[in-house]
Amino acid sequence: MRSLQSVGPRLALAAMTIVLGTPGLAAADEATGAKDTTYYISLGDSLASGYQPDVDKDTDVAYTDQLYAQLKQRTPGLKHIRLGCTAETTESLIKGGKCDYPHAKSQLDAALQAMAQHHGKVAYVTLSVGADDILLNCVTPARTLDGACLNSKSQTMAQNLAQIAGALRKAGTGNTQFVGSTYHNPFLAAWLQGAAGQQAAKESAPLVAAANTGIAQVYKSTGFKVADVAGAFSSNDFTTLVNVPGAGEVPANVAKICQLTWACTKQDPHPNAEGHKVIAGAFAAQLAQVDAPGESPSPTPTPSASATPEPGASTGSGTGAGANQPTTNGDLADTGASSSTPVLAGAGLAVAAAGTAAVYFARRRRTSEQR
C-alpha cells in the first residue's frame, strides 16, 4: 500500500461553532423549552470523522453521522457533539496536539467538558481509537511491523485506552450508554495478489483477532459495551466462498473488505459509505440493548484505568469548532503478519495488533453539533 505522505499543519475554522461554546446557551434552552434535549457524543480518529480517500477529506458518511440519524429517529431532540479527529492516537486524544478544540486541551477534555455541562443529559457516547498508535510508529521502511515496537507500544496503548474509557464512564450517569468498537481487517485485501497475498491475508487474521479480544476486554473492564465491527465484516470467515466480479470466488471476509472499504480499489483501508453504514449498525445493535441504571460494571480501580487524564474535566467552559491538519509519517505494511512479527501474548499486548486494522491519514476535520 502507499506510504503516508507528510501533510503540513493548516488551521481550518469549522463552518459551525459547537453550540456548547455559545454564551448563554443554557439560559436560551430553558427559555425555549429545550430542557428535554439530550446528547450523543462521538469520539475517535478518522473512522469517527469519516475520511474518504476518493475526495481526500472527512465527510458526513461517517458511522457517527449515520448512527446519529438512526438514534434521532427514536430520540427526538437528540443533538450530536461530533469530536472525531483524523490521525488521533490514544495519547493525543488524552493530551491533545492533533486537532484544535477551542476552550479544551484535547478531544477527551472537550468530551469531559460537554459531559459536565450537560450532566444527566448525555444519552450516548461512542469511541473508536487506537489504529494510529501502532502503524504510525511501528512500520519499518520495508513495510513490515517492528515486533519490539509492537510490544512496547501495545502496553501504552492499552493503558491509554483504559484511561480514556474509564474517564468517560466516570463522567457519565446511569442513563448514559457507552460503546467502543473493535476493528475490521483491511489486510485481507492482499488475498487478491495471488498465493503470497493469500498467505499474508491468513496470517493477518489471528493478529487482528487477538487485538480485538484485547480491545474488547479493556472496554468491558471500564463499563463500555463493544460494537463487534470485526464480526460485522465477517473478518474471520475464510470458509464461506463468495463470487466477486473480476476476482472469482474468494472467502467471505475478503469479499466484505472489497465491498465495504477502499482496500481493494484504492489500496486504502478506510471504510466506504456502505462500510460506515455497517459499522453504524454494529453500534446501533449495542445501543438497542438498554441496561438497567447502574447495571454496567464500574471501571476497575487501577492507576491506568482510573487516573484522571492530564487534560482533566472543566465545568467552566464548553467546546468549540476548529481543526488543524496534523502531519503524519510512515508506511503501511502490505501484510498483517510476517516471520519477523511475533505473536503477542496477554490481553494488553494483544491490543497492539489493532494497528493492522486501519490507517488514518491526517486530513482536515470539522467539529460540529448537529441539530
Residue 148: pLDDT band with limits 50, 70, 90:
low
Residue 41: pLDDT band with limits 50, 70, 90:
very high
Indicate the range of 94-108, 202-216, 218-232, 255-269 predicted with least confidence. 202-216
- What digits encode the pLDDT tens for the residues 109-132? 999 999 999 999 999 999 999 878
Could you tell me which residue, 294 or 11, shows the higher pLDDT?
294
- Euclidean distance between CA atoms 14 and 84, whole angstroms: 13
- Euclidean distance between CA atoms 358 and 346, whole angstroms: 22
| Domain at 178, CATH number | 3.40.50.1110
The total of structural domains in the chain comes to: 1
The mean pLDDT value for 16-36 works out to 40
User: Residue 316 above 50 pLDDT?
Assistant: no
257 in Cβ contact with 211 (< 8 Å): no
- What digits encode the pLDDT tens for the residues 236-253? 999 999 999 888 999 999
Range of the domain at 350: 3-370
- Residue-level pLDDT at 301: 34
177 in Cβ contact with 143 (< 8 Å): no
- Euclidean distance between CA atoms 204 and 196, whole angstroms: 12
DSSP letters of 202-247?
A: HHHHHHHHHHHHHHHHHHHHTT-EEE-HHHHTTTT--SSEEEETTT
The CA-CA-CA angle for residues 229, 309, 108, to 5°, reads: 50
Indicate the range of 81-85, 116-120, 134-138, 345-349 predicted with least confidence. 345-349
Residue 151: pLDDT band with limits 50, 70, 90:
low
- How high does pLDDT run on average in the chain? 73
Model pTM score: 0.72
Residue 178: pLDDT band with limits 50, 70, 90:
very high
- Residue-level pLDDT at 337: 28
- Residue-level pLDDT at 306: 33
Residue 106: pLDDT band with limits 50, 70, 90:
very high
The mean pLDDT value for 289-299 works out to 49
Q: For strand 11-12 and strand 323-324, is the pairing parallel, antiparallel, or unpaired?
A: antiparallel
